[in-house]
Structure 1
Amino acid sequence: MQPEPECRVLSIQSHVVRGFVGNKSAAFPLQVLGFEVDLINSVQFSNHTGYDHWKGQTMTAEELQTLYEGLQLNDVTRYDYVLTVCDPVMGDKRNGDGYMYVPENLLPAYKEKVVPLADIITPNQYEAEILAGRKMNTEKEAIEVMDILHAMGPDTVVITSSDLPSALGDNYLVTLGSQRKVIAGGSRVTERIRMEIPKVDAVFVGTGDLFAAMLLAWTHQHPNNLKIACEKTVSALQHIVTRTISNAKALAGPGKKPSAAQLELRVVQSKRQIENPEIIIHATTI
């Protein structure tokens, strides 16, 4: 009897006891989609830091290395993928202004050491701009930014959210993707896609981690079709956030703003949408 085939992911991210962020957000969808997932928790908190209170510990570099050495000693470090959500926690925009979550003196390490090792990166607009060293206010400028990021090493770049103008109006975010690939005959081509995503009136935590995990899964299933991989990823995520906000409003009651606890992503309840997402957000080729 031949051993069963498996695809194994090492996911190095934060962990929370309650809720869905980091490894808690990434592991379930990957497992639902058939991946074996090994977890290294870089941080262990009671809950994410959007709550009023949190407690927990941060692993040191030496502690993380010790865990990996234990795997090495047992010769179990052969992985198909390593998932670590570095770029989505670099920074974001608050009230229209850029805001770094990490010290700015770490930016060269991301640009020179982390990004060149990655096959896929999923920055938001602000992160893409600071990595590329230039702004993107138009689709043309966004393509130029993605090309700069390609030149750093990654073959797939997906800007998960941007405030570029949408033909559908102000209530839409724009997602952009670019994938370099080799076609028959050995020539290289670049596939570029654009998606218009309805805004949801809530702030969620863990969506970036969830996005990265599902994009990994669907690019594995569709390695040469970024359009389909992004449509499945974004559609599943839209199902989840729509379900989450509806449930949160029901829990909060009429006229009340949902709490951080009520806005925890409804990941487990969305198992069917993760496994077989109905395509509700379509991508266009640019």
Structure 2
Amino acid sequence: MKILSIQSAVAYGHVGNSAAVFPLQRIGVEVLPVYTVNFSNHTGYGAWRGPLISPDDVAAVITGIEERGVFPQIDVVLSGYQGGEGIGDVILDAVARIKAANPSAIYACDPVMGNAKSGCFVAPAIPVLLRDRVVPQADLITPNQFELGYLTDTSPDTLESTLASVDLVRASGPRTVLVTSVERPDREEGTIEMIAVDDAGAWIVQTPLIPMKANGSGDVTAALFTAHYRRTGDAADALARTTSSVFDLLERTHASGERELQLVESQEAYANPRLQFTVHQVR
């Protein structure tokens, strides 16, 4: 499997491609990383150095890959945080060209906008761009519960309302949806859930809530779920494997006391997930 991953990169820490590439490689995926920024560290520190990469330069890198004759071999285009409006056009153009070269390729979009605690943390134009132009072109999306609400102009909280919101966004284009950071009012205290939905059904998994903010964990989640799902076409299996790997990554990171994900130290959790959490079909 080959994945073209168009995301940010940092020298210190693990977000964007700096979070997604290694776990994908560890499960046997060939990754072609294309960077949209090259920062010293993620912006959560409040200070960073390094350049935003212009949409024209990102497009040039993708064209160079095309000129090597690789497009027919690419199985997935994966995108995450979009720092500006121009990069959306570059991504959609790349998706169209790759699908023309390989009609079985899919586009997986992590529509990064914000979260329930922080609200939106992207430029005001980005959520509109994602909702109106990018998400409808995706085959698979991985929003958190907050982002799902924005994409559908709803307020999902219960299982029923979250599934209804998923149905709305699926009607707009993407057939497969992974909803992360699901916090239902009636869930067991100290837990958090994820829900995966495709044409075959809907599944939910619950884990203990690890009390920490982990920049980059969503990027790892999107990458692993996309790869597992593309490989098997089984949403329940992809959900189980991804949940196991990410939980063990977060548990190890929390225990370390470090702010940055313990990405390399947790590599066995990607290659051989323990599958310690039960996935339940809810529809």
Measure how far apart 1:88 and its partner are.
4.4
Partner of 2:195: 176
Which of the residues 48, 57, 60 maps onto 2:42?
48
1:199 corresponds in structure 2 to: 209
Give the conservation status (yes or no) of the 8 Å contact 2:205–2:277: yes
CA distance in 2: counterparts of 1:50 and 1:59, whole angstroms: 19
Task: Give identity over the alignment, percent.
Answer: 31
State the alpha-carbon separation in 2 of the partners of residues 54 and 93 from structure 1. 25
Which structure has greater helix proportion? 2
Normalised by the length of structure 2, the TM-score is: 0.85
Question: In the TM superposition, what is the alpha-carbon distance from 1:112 to its structure 2 partner?
Answer: 2.4
Q: Distance in 1 between matches of 2:46 and 2:132?
A: 36
1:147 corresponds in structure 2 to 167
In structure 2, the residue matched to 1:254 is none
Instruction: Give the distance between the partners of 1:53 and 1:103, measured in 2 at CA.
Output: 17
| Residue pairs, 1:25-174, within 5 angstroms | 25-78=19-72, 79-86=74-81, 87-94=110-117, 99-169=119-189, 171-174=190-193
Write the deviation string for residues 139-163 of structure 1: whole angstroms up to 9, x where unpaired: 1111110001111111111111122
Q: Distance in 2 between matches of 1:196 and 1:168?
A: 9
The answer to whether residue 268 in structure 2 is matched with residue 272 in structure 1 is yes
Deviates more, 1:194-203 or 1:142-151: 194-203
Deviation at 1:165, TM superposition (A): 2.5
- Distance, in Å, in 1 between the alignment partners of 2:188 and 2:131 is 34
**Structure 2 match to 1:251:** none
Q: Which residue matches 2:107?
A: none
Mapped pair 1:231 → 2:251:
no
Question: How many matched pairs?
Answer: 253
The code of the aligned residue for 1:231 comes to A
Does the residue aligned with 2:51 lie in a helix, a strand or coil? strand
C-alpha separation in 1, matches of 2:219 and 2:157: 25
Q: Is the 8 Å Cα contact of residues 111 and 135 (structure 2) preserved in structure 1?
A: no
- How far residue 73 of structure 1 moved from its aligned partner, in angstroms, is 2.8
Residue ranges of structure 1 left out of the alignment (5+ in a row)? 1-6, 181-189, 249-261
Could you give the per-residue CA deviations for residues 99-146 of structure 1, whole angstroms, max 9, x where no partner exists?
Answer: 212233333321222112211111011100000111112111111100
The answer to whether the 8 A contact 1:166-1:172 is kept is no
**Residue matched to 2:103:** none
State the 1:203 CA deviation. Answer: 0.8
* TM-score for the superposition, normalised by structure 1: 0.84
The amino acid that maps onto 2:13 is: G
Q: Which amino acid aligns with 2:169?
A: L
SS of the residue 2:259 aligns to: coil
Matched residue type, 1:191? G
Structure 2 residues without counterparts, runs of 5 or longer: 82-109
CA contact (8 A) 2:210 2:251 kept: yes
1:52 deviation in Å? 4.7
Match of 1:3 in 2: none
SS of corresponding position for 1:228: helix
Q: Distance in 1 between the 2:46 and 2:128 partners?
A: 32
Whole-Å separation in 2 of the counterparts to 1:149 and 1:107: 14
Which letter does structure 1 place at the counterpart of 2:197?
A: S
Q: 1:175–1:194: 8 Å Cα contact kept in structure 2?
A: yes
Describe the shift of the 1:160–1:73 C-alpha distance in structure 2 as closer, same or farther (beyond 3 A). same
Q: Distance in 2 between matches of 1:88 and 1:72?
A: 25
Larger-Rg structure: 1
SS at match of 2:219: helix
- 1:213 paired with 2:208, answer no
| 1:165-210, Cα deviation, whole Å (9 max, x unpaired) | 24422x1112122111xxxxxxxxx410112121112111000000
Alpha-carbon distance in 2 for matches of 1:167, 1:150: 25
Q: Quote the offset at 1:227 in angstroms.
A: 1.2
Q: Shift of the alpha carbon at 1:89?
A: 2.2
